[in-house]
Structure 1
Amino acid sequence: MADPETLRPETLLSVRGLRIGATAYPPGEAPRDIEIVKGIDFDLSKGRVLGLIGESGAGKSTIGLAALAYGRGGVRITGGEVRLEGTDILALGKKGVRALRGARVCYVSQSAAASFNPAQRLGDQVIEATLHHGLATRKEALARAAHLFRLLSLPDPDSFGDRFPHQVSGGQLQRAMTAMALCPEPDLIVFDEPTTALDVTTQIEVLAAIKAAIEETHTAALYITHDLAVVAQVADDIMVLRHGETVEYGPTRQIIEAPTQDYTRNLVNVRSIRHAEAPDQSGQFLRLSGINAFYGSFQVLHDVSLHVPRGQTLAIVGESGSGKSTLARVACGLLPPASGEISFDGAPLPRTLKKRTREQLRRMQMIYQMADTAMNPRQTVGQIIGRAVTFYSGKRGAARRARVIELLDQIELGEAYLDRYPAELSGGQKQRVAIARALAAEPELILCDEPTSALDPLVADGILKLLLKLQAEKGLSYVFITHDIAIVRAIADSVAVMHRGRLVRFGPKSQVLAPPFDDYTALLLASVPEMELGWLEKVLARRRA
């Protein structure tokens, strides 16, 4: 990481007095204008990375999108300047903005699953902007794409582009989107949570690839994330944001090692949960035995057997594509297994969703990984949660509204979000709505597929504490799918480690996370980012040794 005092590179992006507003629609009140970004200033030079970090709704993604002269979901850029090499891109007309986006400025979104066309092959989509702007021939663009696939550790890089989006894992899809942004060789890339969907082992390779690509092309980057340990590995400077304002802004080393503000110090020291595992884990409230499952002719689960005691938490960890989410789909009936048995509370459970009773559906709920694709964009938050309330409890009218507000309070959003649409929410807010919808059924077991992956550390900590509180009060059981080992240590009773569709390690947390390790578990645990400058380089050096 270069020293800004000695490098002094040429300024590429200069933001001054940036203000961004939107219109709020409080229930029972007249619409009113609100300001969500309140006079932000920063400079970004060629070849350097500025990390934007802060809680969900702090304005990180909104600021990043302003670098593309774009306001999403009714958001309006109301003041200030965004200059790219001296040109105020906010003053460009539609033609000028079209020439800018996808050529000089590219964007890697938080949710790749919602960004790719399911009917087109990945390779065609990765090179689309490059061809549209006439930056390369098709042959050159395809060669560049294959190089990037290889750089980003995607399987079969020369033929990976022949696949459709549904034929790859979520983590692979996110890396394909990174390749799409890098393909035109832009001046500036806005990375909006680019490793959120990735397991920790893959995350290291992607971070290294992003860092190498920036150094190789001398491009600049805005790196938006809620994970301070991750951004510390790639950013030269960090801006901490809250409520649309700058809390702290400075070199990465100063932010990590000597923060001056209480909020920043809380981010650095987050994760106060220390859940002690249950001493008796012999119960089998949910049991999966000998599960084999296929997608078409491809086998994705191989003879998987595990169980979850009542009132306890099983964490399932493993790299992208290891079968974690597929196992959850089997448990909840979305993917019938080819063979094996599923039992719930001592009784056999029908393999398919259609054959399960409403009561069986109520007792087992799922929180999905991609909140973007799990909600109807035409329904308000109140309708999304309220539909589940009515379906499972029969409540309507005032009773339904009161229950929805209660759930919104539990997930720290509140009544003001009742009439908002998904497009008006940040990624973390969408994920919290998904959690509230699952809780609406008053379930006994919840399958949690990365439910905090889109949340900043402080809010995620609050959600985890909420889940543990509900577990203690109601005896809830959880199957918690995650790539965050810190979360596993914080909330799990038992842990299952999966690799390539097979169960490689399973047992109490204290045993699975203690040596001696198998090779894969050792790699997984060694890949958890630490709040330490240079950690990424040290891990990569150990892997090469």
Structure 2
Amino acid sequence: MADNLLDIRNLRIAATIYPPGEKAAELVIVKDVSLTLEKGKVLGLIGESGAGKSTIGLAAMGYGRGSIRLSGQVWLNGRDILAGSTRDLRRLRGKEVTYVSQSAAASFNPAKRLMEQIIESALEHGTASKSEAEARAVALFDDLGLPDPENFGRRFPHQVSGGQLQRAMTVMALVPEPDLIIFDEPTTALDVTTQIDVLAAIKKAIRNTDVAAIYITHDLAVVAQVSDEIMVLRHGEKIERNTAEAIITRSVEDYTKALVSVRSIDHEEKRPTDNPVLVARNISAAYGNMVQVLDDVSVEVHAGQTLAVVGESGSGKSTLARVITGLLPPFEGDVMFGERSLSKALVNRSKDDLRELQMIYQMADTAMNPRQTVGTIIGRPLEFYFGLRGAEKRKRVAELLEEIEMGDGFLDRYPAELSGGQKQRVCIARALAAKPSLIICDEVTSALDPLVADGILKLLLRLQKIENVAYLFITHDLATVKAIADSIAVMYQGRLVRYGPKSQVLAPPFDDYTDLLLKSVPEMKIGWLEDVLETRRMESAGN
């Protein structure tokens, strides 16, 4: 249609895969998807991992990774870009269409100043002179609330926060004055307080420049704040498309309804026992030449219960886990495990100390050896701690796979053959194989889509009842905290600002920081972002 900036027709995206020991096969990622987008409008693409969201976003730029093959038509500004040459595509990328990725930190060159990188595309495509591009960037810095706009571009990437760097990447996408921007999970890696600022900045930038955008995410509450319409995808197919308000309040398809109603976990808070499994007492820790990260932190975890440690990036959550595991010896304080004091350094801890304290990481992809089968990965702790071999080990691995609701059919599979949720389940089984008393869960659901994350949380709670294992759950997601925690430790700038049973920590009156965290959790409601920003404005004016 002539009125549409972007018109994707019958898009099919496939890739060639090479399963171990088998012939090459075709994997269809996107199946006959069509969509349109008008100038100045925002279309949200939502769905679980592997739904094809990012692949469609990249296809809107005429781009396919690796062996991916695109077929169908992608009309941008009245021409089919898939029919164009490689040279034609290079001319439009960074000019007519730009891209904002999930990880701004990985997208900037650490050796170059921000301004040099932000204006590079505009200079390359000749959409502005250097002075014009810099002036546009400074105006956008100011518009998006970045500090000291005149001099912000002189900084290096490591000299700004994650939220500031994500906004800087949005500026980089806007400086060439494109017609279309692809936002690919731009707030997923951010804590909730920073996410508010970045969402507000993105929405303001779109409104002020009249650019069209595709906003890719797995968080329906987030996409509802910035999108005019939302398309729901699953397994590479379109499930439903409607206005954001209609998707939230009166969705038609069962899958969409499940996305809207996710996180309805009913977890009854348990009372602390007399003898905690772990006590971290008066912990102070620092990196390098005494850059203090933790300041007099004391917490305890009880058998069969979950302590959620919550706070924004840089609050000290993961550093506390590093101290407890012995990876970072504290300069003050000690860690008690049961009746014994743990050595501050990992190298001095006993084999039993290592066995009883396990850890599950955020990124399951990097936590497993891609060349080992699931059976080998889960079997390693069984060999190391209990000396199991052969049929006895294989039998126990199969039992653990049943516990995580996967079954022994996965024994001989490799990580590349698993979904994101399945990979995280394998990591859970590996931790359970050691029969630990405590498992530290470090942001284990933050990289997963809501439905898969919901399944992982329910699995962890079920296993906790069976094994009576304690969890120390590190997260910045308050919805997760409400769903699984028995007690909560709120951290801010290395200090404990609120601590106790969940029912007390989440009950008013609140300290200023806990109040800010709770108010920053996105709600499945159109206009929620504007309400939060207006409340902040009124509170600021009152002060």
Pairwise TM-score range, normalised by the shorter structure:
0.7 to 0.9
Question: Which residue in 1 is equivalent to 2:44?
Answer: 51
Question: Which residue in 2 is equivalent to 1:193?
Answer: 185
Return the alpha-carbon distance in structure 2 between the equivalents of residues 511 and 477 of structure 1: 20
Return the alpha-carbon distance in structure 2 between the equivalents of residues 126 and 411 of structure 1: 47
Work out whether residues 375 and 411 of structure 2, in 8 Å CA contact, stay in contact via their aligned partners in 1. Answer: no
Look up the equivalent residue of 1:487 and give its one-letter code.
Answer: T
The count of aligned residue pairs is: 533
Alpha-carbon distance change, 282 to 484 in structure 1, aligned in 2, over 3 angstroms: farther
Look up the equivalent residue of 1:226 and give its one-letter code.
Answer: H
For the pair 1:483 / 2:476, whether they are aligned, the reply is: yes
Note the 1:325-336 alignment, pairs <5 A: 325-336=318-329
Aligned mate of 1:469, from 462, 475, 499: 462
Return the alpha-carbon distance in structure 1 between the equivalents of residues 447 and 74 of structure 2: 27
Work out whether residues 108 and 157 of structure 2, in 8 Å CA contact, stay in contact via their aligned partners in 1. Answer: no
Look up the equivalent residue of 2:324 and give its one-letter code.
Answer: A
Alpha-carbon distance change, 432 to 148 in structure 1, aligned in 2, over 3 angstroms: farther
Alpha-carbon distance change, 31 to 9 in structure 1, aligned in 2, over 3 angstroms: closer
For the pair 1:18 / 2:11, whether they are aligned, the reply is: yes
Work out whether residues 167 and 201 of structure 2, in 8 Å CA contact, stay in contact via their aligned partners in 1. Answer: no
Aligned mate of 1:342, from 331, 335, 355: 335
Question: Which residue in 2 is equivalent to 1:4?
Answer: none
Question: Which residue in 1 is equivalent to 2:498?
Answer: 505
Larger radius of gyration: 2
Question: Which residue in 1 is equivalent to 2:216?
Answer: 224
Note the 1:525-544 alignment, pairs <5 A: 525-544=518-537
Return the alpha-carbon distance in structure 2 between the equivalents of residues 417 and 143 of structure 1: 58
| Gaps in structure 1 of 5+ consecutive residues | 1-7
Note the 1:370-389 alignment, pairs <5 A: 370-371=363-364, 374=367, 379=371, 382=374, 385=377, 388-389=380-381
Shift of 1:164: 4.8
Return the alpha-carbon distance in structure 2 between the equivalents of residues 27 and 408 of structure 1: 22
Note the 1:82-481 alignment, pairs <5 A: 82-112=74-104, 114-117=106-109, 124-136=116-128, 158-159=151-152, 162-165=155-158, 174-296=166-288, 297-371=290-364, 374=367, 379=371, 382=374, 385=377, 388-389=380-381, 410=404, 415=410, 418-419=413-414, 421=416, 434-435=427-428, 437-439=430-432, 441-481=434-474
Shift of 1:533: 0.8
Alpha-carbon distance change, 447 to 136 in structure 1, aligned in 2, over 3 angstroms: farther
Alpha-carbon distance change, 277 to 26 in structure 1, aligned in 2, over 3 angstroms: same
Alpha-carbon distance change, 448 to 189 in structure 1, aligned in 2, over 3 angstroms: farther
Q: Quote the RMSD (CA, aligned, Å).
A: 3.4
Alpha-carbon distance change, 271 to 508 in structure 1, aligned in 2, over 3 angstroms: same
Look up the equivalent residue of 1:203 and give its one-letter code.
Answer: Q
Alpha-carbon distance change, 372 to 177 in structure 1, aligned in 2, over 3 angstroms: farther
Return the alpha-carbon distance in structure 1 between the equivalents of residues 492 and 506 of structure 2: 16
Return the alpha-carbon distance in structure 2 between the equivalents of residues 186 and 368 of structure 1: 38
Question: Which residue in 2 is equivalent to 1:35?
Answer: 28
Q: Percent of aligned pairs with the same residue?
A: 63
Alpha-carbon distance change, 323 to 177 in structure 1, aligned in 2, over 3 angstroms: farther
Worse-matched range after superposition: 23-32 or 188-197: 23-32
Shift of 1:332: 2.0
Look up the equivalent residue of 2:488 and give its one-letter code.
Answer: V
Alpha-carbon distance change, 168 to 162 in structure 1, aligned in 2, over 3 angstroms: closer
Question: Which residue in 2 is equivalent to 1:61?
Answer: 54
Q: TM-score, normalised by structure 2?
A: 0.87
Worse-matched range after superposition: 20-29 or 321-330: 20-29
Return the alpha-carbon distance in structure 1 between the equivalents of residues 354 and 66 of structure 2: 34
Return the alpha-carbon distance in structure 2 between the equivalents of residues 90 and 257 of structure 1: 37
Return the alpha-carbon distance in structure 1 between the equivalents of residues 165 and 435 of structure 2: 33
Question: Which residue in 2 is equivalent to 1:76?
Answer: 69
Shift of 1:310: 1.9
Q: Deviations over 1:279-322 (max 9, x none)?
A: 22554322222222223343222211111112211111122222
Work out whether residues 332 and 353 of structure 1, in 8 Å CA contact, stay in contact via their aligned partners in 2. Answer: yes
Q: TM-score, normalised by structure 1?
A: 0.86
Shift of 1:96: 2.5
Return the alpha-carbon distance in structure 1 between the equivalents of residues 11 and 34 of structure 2: 7
Look up the equivalent residue of 1:81 and give its one-letter code.
Answer: Q
Work out whether residues 325 and 346 of structure 2, in 8 Å CA contact, stay in contact via their aligned partners in 1. Answer: yes
Q: Secondary structure at the match of 2:95?
A: coil
Shift of 1:173: 5.1
Alpha-carbon distance change, 412 to 435 in structure 1, aligned in 2, over 3 angstroms: same
Shift of 1:36: 2.0
| Gaps in structure 2 of 5+ consecutive residues | 539-543
Return the alpha-carbon distance in structure 1 between the equivalents of residues 164 and 437 of structure 2: 33
Q: Deviations over 1:179-207 (max 9, x none)?
A: 44344443222222221122222211111
Q: Secondary structure at the match of 1:41?
A: strand
Shift of 1:463: 0.4
Return the alpha-carbon distance in structure 1 between the equivalents of residues 257 and 37 of structure 2: 24
Q: Secondary structure at the match of 1:162?
A: coil
Look up the equivalent residue of 1:89 and give its one-letter code.
Answer: I
